Amino acid sequence: MTDSWQEVWRLRAKLYSFLGNCLLEPIQGSSVVALSAKFWEEFPLGPGNEHLQNGLEQLRQCTTKLDTLGEEEAIHQVMLEYTPLFLGPGRPQAPPWESVYRTSQNMLFGAPTFEVREALSHYGLEIRGKNKQPEDHIGLELMFLAAVSERLSEPVSEKHASYVREQIRFIDEHLLAWVPDLCRDAQNHGNVGFYGGLIELVWGILLWDKELLQEYLEK
């Protein structure tokens, strides 16, 4: 257990960046570390809740199998899972965008996209390649949490509490409002189990993180 909130914020920033990076592109290059069982054995979070536990357990089991394949084949297998889940061709099996789950017409670039864009702009941020892909991609929403957590790790200011409250609201109103559905789709359609596990872990982390943020506010 760590006592320093500064350390917590830095951990959160890295954790969410890591998860976001793992979801925004197929696992390759520097993210390949996520395909080894050792990584998940030593993952810095314990099983704080059911989804965190399930997600971690699934990732450990999945990567233990992947370890036996050799790195190149493991990357290939996980990419074969990533492509139909999140890229297509055709409607992705687990469309990674909030708008698809949360608008009445399951339409891309729906209101959630612009809410996330707005949230980013409060911190003077925007996504690279703006207007080319929607901001409510799961990975980009996680990136938003990471970016704000980076701000929180800067010397404490009077803004901190409001940043934290905004984070709680963002987790509730955006991520937790659709990640369970995304998780179900990824679990149902994934044939390797890596992304099902990863998104279940994200779900668990979000639940844990919300408690963490509330704890900070109650402090």
Partner 1 sequence: MNASVRQYIKIGIDSLGTFGVSVDILSTKKWLRTMDTHSDSPEKIAYTYHPPDCGGCCSHKCTVREGRLVMIEPNEWADNRYSLICLKGLSEVEHVYSPDRLQTPLKRVGKRGEGEFLPISWDEAMTTIADTLKRLKNVYGGQSILFNSSFGVDHAMEFLPTLLGAQVGGGSGIDIGCANGLEETTGDANYGAMYNEITDWVNAKTIILIGVNILETTMTDAQFFFEAKDAGAKIISVDPAYSTTVAKSDEWIRIKPGTDGALLLAMISLVLENNWYQEDYLRENSSAPFLVRLDRRTLLRFADLGDEMPTETTEEAPKSEFLVWDKGSNSVQPHRKMGVLPQLEGEFEVQGIKVKTVFTLLKENQRLYSPSWATRITEIPEQSIRDLAEHYATEGPGVLGLGWGGPDKWGNADITGHAAAILASLTGNIGRKGGGVGCPLRHYVTWKPILGVWKLPSEFKKAKLEMPPTDMRYKPNSVRALINHGNSIQQHFANLPKTIKWLNQLELVVTIAPYDNTSVEYSDIVLPACTSYESEYEFNNLQITRGHVLLQQKVLDPLYQSKSDFRIEKELAAKLGLEQYLPRSREEYLKALLDSPDPMLKGITLETLQDHQGIMQLNAPQEPYIGHLDQVYDTLSGKLELYQEKMIEFNQALPNYEGPSEATAKSALAKKYPLQFSQAHTKNRVHSQFANSRWINELDPEPKLEMNPQDARSRGLREDDLVKVFNDRGSYKVRCKFTESLRPGVVRQYPGWWSKHMVDGNIQNVTNDRPHPRHYQRRYGPVIPYNDTLVEVKKA
Q: Which of residues 71-90 bind partner 1 (CB under 8 A)?
A: 76, 79-80, 83, 87-90
Compute the least distance from the CB of residue 208 to partner 1, in Å.
6
Kindly tell me which residue out of 37, 48, 181, 189 binds partner 1, with binding defined by CB under 8 A. 48
Q: Does position 61 bind partner 1 by CB under 8 A?
A: no
And the tokens for 184?
């179900």
DSSP 165-219: HHHHHHIIIIIHHHHHHHHHHHHHH-SSSHHHHHHHHHHHHHHHHHHHHHHHHH-
Compute the least distance from the CB of residue 64 to partner 1, in Å.
16
Q: Does position 176 bind partner 1 by CB under 8 A?
A: no
Residue 137 phi/psi, 5-degree rounding, is -65, 140
Give the residue with the Cβ less far from partner 1, 20 or 55: 20
**Torsion sign, CA atoms 191, 37, 24, 138:** positive
Compute the least distance from the CB of residue 103 to partner 1, in Å.
11
Kindly tell me which residue out of 67, 115, 150, 166 binds partner 1, with binding defined by CB under 8 A. 150
